Amino acid sequence: VKDKLKPLGSEKPLGVRSFKFSTDETRLLVYTNTKKVWRADTRGDYWVYDLNNGQFRQLGKGKPASSLMFAKFSPDGKKVAYVSGYNIYVEDLATGIIKPLTTDGNRKLINGTFDWAYEEEFFCRDGFRWSPDSKQIAFWQIDARTTRDYLMINNTDSIYPVAVPVEYPIAGEKPSLYKIGSVDIATGKINWMNIPDDKVWGSYVPRMEWAASSSELIIQHLNRKQNESNLMLCNVRTGQSRTIYTEKDSAWIDILPSWDTDYAGGGWDWLKNGEEFLWASEKDGWRHLYRISRDGKKETLVTNGKYDVMDISVIDEAGGFVYFHASPDNATQKYLYRTALDGNGSLELLNEPFQKGTHTFRLSPNAKYAQHSFSNYYTPPVNQWVSVPDLRPLNGVQKVTEAMVKGDPAATNISFFKVKTTDGVEMDAWMVKPANFDSAKKYPVVFYVYTEPWGQNVTDVYGSTQNYLYKGDMSKEGYIYISIDNRGTPVPKGREWRKSVYRKIGLVNIRDQAMAAKEIMKWPFVDTSRIAVWGWSGGGSATLNLMFQYPEIYKTGIAIAPVANQLTYDNIYQE
pLDDT in the model for residue 353:
87
By the 8 A CB rule, do 92 and 73 touch?
Answer: no
**pLDDT tens-digit series, residues 475-521:** 999 999 999 999 999 999 999 999 999 999 999 999 999 999 999 99
Taking residues 236-265, what's their average pLDDT?
A: 97
The per-residue pLDDT for 155 is: 95
Tens digit of pLDDT for each residue in 151-210?
A: 999 999 999 999 999 999 999 999 999 999 999 999 999 999 999 999 999 999 999 999
pLDDT per residue as tens digits for the range 313-342: 999 999 999 999 999 999 999 999 999 999
Average pLDDT, the chain: 96
Q: What share of the chain is helix, strand, coil (3-state, %, to 5)?
A: 10, 40, 50
Confidence of residue 2 (pLDDT cuts 50, 70, 90): confident
Burial class (CB in 10 A: 0-12, 13-18, 19+), 151: exposed
pLDDT of residue 6: 84
- Exposed (0-12), middle (13-18) or buried (19+): which is 401, by Cβ within 10 Å? middle
Radius of gyration of the chain (CA): 26
% of the chain at pLDDT higher than 90: 94
SS3 572: helix
Residues 6 or more apart whose Cβ sits within 8 Å of residue 314: 322, 323, 363, 364, 365, 367
pLDDT (tens digit per residue) in 86-134: 999 999 999 999 999 999 999 999 999 999 999 999 999 999 999 999 9
What was the pLDDT predicted at 5?
A: 83
pLDDT in tens, 15-38: 999 999 999 999 999 999 999 999
**Percent of the chain predicted with pLDDT > 70:** 100
Paired residues of 428 in beta bridges: 418, 485
What is the identity of the amino acid at 530?
R
Over range 258-271, report the average pLDDT: 96
Q: How far apart are CA 223 and CA 192, in angstroms?
A: 20
Q: What is the pLDDT of residues 344-399, one digit of tens each?
A: 999 999 999 899 999 999 999 999 999 999 999 999 999 999 999 999 999 988 99
* Contact call for residues 229 and 221 (beta carbons, < 8 A): yes
pTM of structure: 0.95
- Contact between 501 and 452 under an 8 Å Cβ cutoff? The reply is yes
Stretch 441-466: mean pLDDT: 97
